[in-house]
Amino acid sequence: MLKSSSTLIVISTLYLSSLVSLSAAALSDSSVNVSEVDHQVVTIWSHGIRLEGDIYKPKGLKADDKLPGILMVPGWGGNKKNIEKNYAPHFAKKGFIVLSFDFKSWGQSDGPVVLDQKMATTDKAEEINVKVTHIRQIINPLSMVEDVRAALHFLGSEPQVMPNDLGIWGTSMGGGLALVAAANDDRVKALVSQLAPFNYKYNLRVIPDQQMRQVEAMVARGIIPPYPGPKSKVNPMLRGFPDWVAMKRFDPMLHVADLTAATLIMDVKDEKLFENKENGKLVYDSIKDRLASRYLTFPGEHYDMYKGDNLNKGRAEAIQWFTQYLQK
């Protein structure tokens, strides 16, 4: 990275150092046994990269039964194991077909590859043997939102899913990704977001735009690698390598005006990782007069949402929202 990237890491740590540890610290309580619902592992293709997903269905569905579908989007560094533990089976038991997935380069999904050698030029596609580097654990919301779109298309084409009656649930970073996907697909009739930092322009305002242009120039010239590595970490204890350029460019707020889905936003009262009034509350205030919408806050701090009463009540509110706004 650039010499000035050390400044970037320091000034961003306060905002992100806890946010990104969701996968390691959060989802822990009151799981439903997966055997209580039907479960299938599926393959989803996103920009030519294989993603692994899980579909959950109520037991005993007939081949011609049709149910609403819910896509569940994990947060930063999260994967479908977290969703399986405390969320997806609960929603499936209530009469929905649920899809969760691992983002590319995470969990059981493949990541992008970088050629370690120059290829010979050719005018046609052909099978060749080359040496590549398999990229893992990249945090790039611009790429991740394309994974969400691919997963949504997969869910919408599932034979037992009502294709024009879809919901999206997202947590933490996944909430912003879910909002972007929902705003760009009229099949989505209900959106539930919890603990989402929607306003990246505001949250990362301390990172200079000029610095990001310098990083992009160095990537374009081959001075630094095309994918971030250990130098991009905000904390050595946290998983993954954030792509700071992509983080700065990712702006869910640009899509709020296009949102048509009934929207439930859930925050915690003592959020320390970002300002509710500039994120979830700001989104709610901008849609409340034109959409079916609700804004809820729960006691405690960020990770208190993933345990005890908050977990149970937040999950129940989400299920009720989808039950109300998705046709049954």
CATH of the domain at 198: 3.40.50.1820
Q: How would you write the pLDDT of the chain (328 residues) with one tens digit per residue?
A: 333 444 343 334 434 444 443 433 344 445 577 889 999 999 999 999 999 999 999 999 999 999 999 999 999 877 898 888 899 999 999 999 999 999 999 999 999 999 988 888 889 999 989 899 999 999 999 999 999 999 999 999 999 999 999 999 999 999 999 999 999 999 999 999 999 999 999 999 999 999 999 999 999 999 999 999 888 887 676 689 999 999 999 999 999 999 999 999 999 999 999 999 999 999 999 999 999 999 999 999 999 999 999 999 999 999 999 999 998 6
User: Could you give the number of structural domains in the chain?
Assistant: 1
- What CA dihedral angle connects 58, 59, 62 and 63, to 10 degrees? 70
In a domain, 31, yes or no: yes
Chain centre distance of CA 178 = 6
Burial-class residue 60 by CB neighbours within 10 Å (0-12, 13-18, 19+): exposed
Q: Let me know: does 296 contact 321? Beta carbons within 8 Å.
A: no
The distance in angstroms from the start CA to the end CA of the chain is 52
Domain residues for the domain of 210 are 5-118+128-325
Q: What is the DSSP letter of 196?
A: -
In a domain, 123, yes or no: no
In a domain, 94, yes or no: yes
Closest CA to 197 of 270, 281, 263: 281
Which residue bears the tokens 């933490």? 172
